[in-house]
Amino acid sequence: MVEAQSWTTRRMSNPRFDAAATTTPTVIDIPGTPPHSSASSNGKPFFLSSPTVSPSVLTAAIIAAWFGSNIGVLLLNKYLLFYYGFRYPIFLTMTHMLSCAAYSSAVINIAGIVPRQHILSRRQFLKILALSAIFCLSVVCGNTSLRYIPVSFNQAIGATTPFFTAVFSFLITCKTESTEVYLALLPVVSGIVLASNSEPSFHLFGFLICVASTAGRALKSVVQGIILTSESEKLHSMNLLLYMAPMAACILLPFTLYIEGNVLRILIEKARTDPLIIFLLAGNATVAYLVNLTNFLVTKHTSALTLQVLGNGKAAVAAGVSGLIFRNPVTVMGVAGFGVTIMGVVLYSEARKRSKLLNQK
């Protein structure tokens, strides 16, 4: 149950320069998939096939767009939920899902960025529905946490995803990693403990719900690796988003109506006096889709490893940018804890890479 709903911005609060809270972004965590053939004649979608743009410039532009969309959706979520006074995180998440469904349909069916794949069986449909439910839990919790904790703290908690992935992999599949991989997780956890103890804007509920969001993101990744194992059932990331987004919106609809009440009526009344809310929600939903599109484009034009490295850097950049915009207080110990967590994530990635190479020999 979300806290009492009000459209009034907190008293004595500047919507642009006050202290912030967090999270993940609703960032929708859609995994990378194998290379594909495009519908265009030269193997690229029409908007990426200009002969006048060099590959290096195109790649740099895509990476810049990736940073802008990932950080932008975090800042917009924070502004809407904390400063603007929009107290409806479930409804906000539902708009993200509807946006992803609409844009995915256009990008696949009209732009032809990837070939259209179809759900082939009721079994496959139920598997995707299960993933959508986990997906909803993760995104709603992440968006809700932004009402209570700063973006920087939210990103520090989100960086612990590898820890939860390792835990769920062991609990669900009994998969074990090398000792080196488990040791690399120690700084991941210790860093967030250090950051939590020294966080000036610490909020227990915000912290717990952000941890739930991070755990949900890891659980989705593990479950997806289990239930979509058949070659006939595997979907390209953009096709998976095409089917998951409307399912997620349908799941969220009864919850937003029950928990958040007459949000549609309140939104219409608010729009009559302040049309800015419509532009904020539409822009926020569009940027939420761009996060997924740029994830795919970065992987296509570079590699999955590059996307992982950029993800580590994004957390630090987002924390810094949010601090400059919202002026949320930080401490030396908090920054140190965040740094330790990021270092642990890098060590974990390197340890897993070495472990995979050893297993291949």
pLDDT at 95 over 90: yes
Distance, in Å, from the CA atom of 247 to the CA atom of 261, rounded to the nearest integer, reads: 21
Residue 284's pLDDT is 96
**What pLDDT, on a 0 to 100 scale, did the predictor assign at position 356?**
78
pLDDT of residue 139: 93
pTM given for the model: 0.79
Answer whether 89's CB lies under 8 Å from 144's CB: yes
SS (H, E, C) 53-93: CCHHHHHHHHHHHHHHHHHHHHHHHHHHHHHHCCCCHHHHH
Question: How does residue 21 score in pLDDT terms, banded at 50, 70 and 90?
Answer: very low
Q: Count CB atoms within 10 A of the CB of residue 208.
A: 14
Q: Decide if pLDDT at 15 tops 60.
A: no
CB 154 within 8 Å of CB 23 = yes
Nearest CA to 48 out of 293, 222, 226, 221 is that of 293
Q: Which value, to the nearest 10 degrees, does the dihedral of the CA atoms of residues 300, 302, 304, 305 take?
A: 180
Question: Shortest CA distance to 139 belongs to which of 89, 98, 99?
Answer: 89
Mean pLDDT of 231-236: 80
pLDDT of residue 52 exceeding 80, the answer is no
Q: What is the mean pLDDT of residues 33-37?
A: 44
* Overall average pLDDT of the 226-249 stretch: 86
- Identify which of 142, 179, 136 has the alpha carbon closest to the alpha carbon of residue 161: 142
- pLDDT tens digits for 250-268? 999 999 999 998 898 999 9
* Higher per-residue pLDDT: 124 or 1: 124
Mean of pLDDT over the chain: 83
Amino acid at 114: V
Report whether 196 contacts 339 (CB < 8 A): no
pLDDT at 289 over 90: yes
Question: What's the whole-number mean pLDDT along residues 28-57?
Answer: 53
Query: Taking CA 235 as the corner, what is the angle to CA 234 and CA 238, rounded to the nearest 5 degrees?
Result: 160
| pLDDT tier at 140, thresholds 50, 70, 90 | very high
196: pLDDT strictly greater than 70:
yes
Q: Which residue has the higher pLDDT, 231 or 295?
A: 295
Q: Do residues 181 and 348 make contact, with C-beta atoms less than 8 angstroms apart?
A: yes
Q: Is the pLDDT of residue 100 over 90?
A: yes
Q: How confident is the model at residue 45 (pLDDT cuts 50, 70, 90)?
A: low
For the cut 60, the answer to whether the pLDDT of residue 2 exceeds it is no
Percent of the chain topping pLDDT 70: 85
- pLDDT at residue 330 tops 60: yes
The pLDDT of residue 49 is: 52
Q: Is the model more confident about 316 or about 154? A: 154
Higher pLDDT, 45 or 206: 206
- pLDDT-above-90 percentage for the chain: 40
Query: What's the chain's length in residues?
Result: 361
